[in-house]
Amino acid sequence: MNTTTTPDAAPPSPWADAPLTARLVLSDGTVIAGQGLGATGSSVGEVCFNTAMTGYQEILTDPSYAGQIITFTFPHIGNVGANLDDTETSNLAARSGVRGCVLRAPITRPSNYRAAENLDRWLKSRGIIAIAGIDTRALTARIREKGMPNGVIVHDPSGNFDIDKLKAEAAAWPGLDGMDLVPEVTSGQSYSWDETSWVWGEGFGRQENPEFHVVAVDYGLKRNILRCLASAGCKVTVVPATAQADEILARAPDGVFLSNGPGDPAATGRYAVPEIQKLVDSGLPVFGICLGHQMLALALGAKTRKMHQGHHGANHPVKDFTTQKVEITSMNHGFTVDRESLPGSVEETHVSLFDGSNCGIQLKDRPVFSVQYHPEASPGPQDSHYLFDRFVDLMRKRKGS
């Protein structure tokens, strides 16, 4: 496949005559032209698609998207603006790990009482390149058929591009398989967290009487996970991804949380998995989400593999075998745990009803469990919040014994 596509391939639109100041160049030579938005410059990454209709700011600040260019399938992105509260990265000193975003329609003037600024200006401030005015349905269909390609997104107001150079850059990028991206998004130092979940009319609260102490290992931690832990009665201490098990255990936690994050779990696992194994052997309750789930599986003897198109969206049905209930979940992952590799000591607890892939595990003889999806993202809206209560119950049971 070696074609050039312009907005003429999409349905006619009032912005079709806008200057074509951006390009998305795929590793197979495909060139897609559109209107540039956000930051100028170029960035290379893996092109995926997200099917969520809302939450674009949370998606664009999710550290798990480091190294990726996000295609939004919903056409109206930016219509509620941006604000400080919806930023998900807990490492505020770091820029968003996302490499760029692809939009169908131009960013409109925000219309929401919470909007603090226009999304275009917000993208500029965070160094995120965007391209708009293209047929995102066609690009999504291409990803579903052929898998997630590597690509270069570039925005230049002059409209001048060295296409051959961009094609070569896209083709040369090695891709996420084997790539450790956690150093881009993890915090460089430890810190405490006590902010609780947002309540209508009150905003965010504070956990002033915690029952438990949880150490959260930051592989790309989202702020709302921290809020859910605090709301469940936990004092949270966040430590960097490189923290040693001895250092974590010296803080005398009641439980350990393994966070979400980007990249290949096997690559990050080279230094993280041996420490996770020590934490499991300590007997403490351990709870993992997303990358934390994948690396916990590796620590228990399972394997992970790259997915064809990944799971990115807020409408993914998952069945919990422990309750026999179906949850509507939010997902963001391009790697998955190979269920066939799970050892006999590990029980599969959750499965995707889209493709049957693994979405949760637990140890049969220790208080250790994890899920692939994001219970804190609340698409259900609170179908999966019981997982934080389950973690707390495990800590309460151990503390009581």
| pLDDT tens readout for residues 334-361 | 999 999 999 999 999 999 999 999 999 9
pLDDT of residue 96: 67
Tokens of 25: 């160049």
**28-44: pLDDT as tens digits:** 999 999 999 999 999 99
Q: How far apart are CA 215 and CA 231, in angstroms?
A: 15
Q: Is 170 helix (H, G, I), strand (E, B) or coil?
A: helix
Q: How far apart are CA 105 and CA 74, in angstroms?
A: 9
Q: Taking the complete model, does pTM exceed 0.85, yes or no?
A: yes
Active-site position among 290, 293, 312, 333: 290
Active-site position among 275, 350, 376, 385: 376
DSSP state of 325: E
Domain ranges within the chain, ordered by starting residue:
4-172, 182-400
**386: Cβ contacts below 8 Å, ≥ 6 apart:** none
Q: What angle do CA 204, 209, 212 make, to 5 degrees?
A: 105
206 or 95: which carries more pLDDT confidence? 206
Q: What is the mean pLDDT of residues 90-109?
A: 85
**Cβ–Cβ contacts within 10 Å for residue 35, how many?**
21
- Residue 1 — pLDDT band, cuts 50, 70, 90? very low
CATH of the domain spanning 4-172, picked from 1.10.490.10, 3.30.56.10, 3.40.109.10, 3.50.30.20? 3.50.30.20
Q: How far apart are CA 59 and CA 74, in angstroms?
A: 13
pLDDT of residue 90: 80
Q: What is the mean pLDDT of residues 282-310?
A: 98
**194-250: pLDDT as tens digits:** 999 999 889 999 999 999 999 999 999 999 999 999 999 999 999 999 999 999 999
* Partner residues linked to 317 by β-bridges: 328
Amino acid letter at 186? T
Q: Average per-residue pLDDT in the chain? A: 94
- Residue 13 — pLDDT band, cuts 50, 70, 90? low
pLDDT of residue 10: 44
**15-72: pLDDT as tens digits:** 557 789 999 999 999 999 999 999 999 999 999 999 999 999 999 999 999 999 999 9
Res. 146: pLDDT tops 50: yes
Contact 110, 89 (CB under 8 A): no
Q: How far apart are CA 290 and CA 219, in angstroms?
A: 10
**Cβ–Cβ contacts within 10 Å for residue 300, how many?**
23
**155: Cβ contacts below 8 Å, ≥ 6 apart:** 21, 22, 36, 37, 38, 39, 40, 41, 42, 129, 130, 131
pLDDT of residue 382: 87
pLDDT of residue 236: 98
Contact 228, 197 (CB under 8 A): yes
Q: Is 137 helix (H, G, I), strand (E, B) or coil?
A: helix
Q: How far apart are CA 317 and CA 356, in angstroms?
A: 10
Contact 260, 288 (CB under 8 A): no
Q: How far apart are CA 205 and CA 380, in angstroms?
A: 22
Read off φ and ψ for residue 234, nearest 5 degrees: -115, 140
Active-site position among 155, 333, 374, 385: 374
Q: How far apart are CA 153 and CA 99, in angstroms?
A: 8
pLDDT of residue 392: 98
* Partner residues linked to 57 by β-bridges: none
Q: How far apart are CA 213 and CA 167, in angstroms?
A: 50
Q: How far apart are CA 110 and CA 129, in angstroms?
A: 19
pLDDT of residue 2: 40
* Partner residues linked to 221 by β-bridges: none
**363-399: pLDDT as tens digits:** 999 999 999 999 999 888 888 999 999 999 999 999 9
Q: Is 145 helix (H, G, I), strand (E, B) or coil?
A: helix
Q: How far apart are CA 308 and CA 312, in angstroms?
A: 12
347 is catalytic: no
Closest by alpha carbon to 312, among 64, 61, 45?
64
- Residue 95 — pLDDT band, cuts 50, 70, 90? low
pLDDT of residue 93: 57
48 is catalytic: no
Q: What is the mean pLDDT of residues 254-282?
A: 98
Contact 185, 97 (CB under 8 A): yes
pLDDT of residue 16: 58
CATH of the domain spanning 182-400, picked from 3.90.70.10, 3.40.1010.10, 3.40.50.300, 3.40.50.880? 3.40.50.880
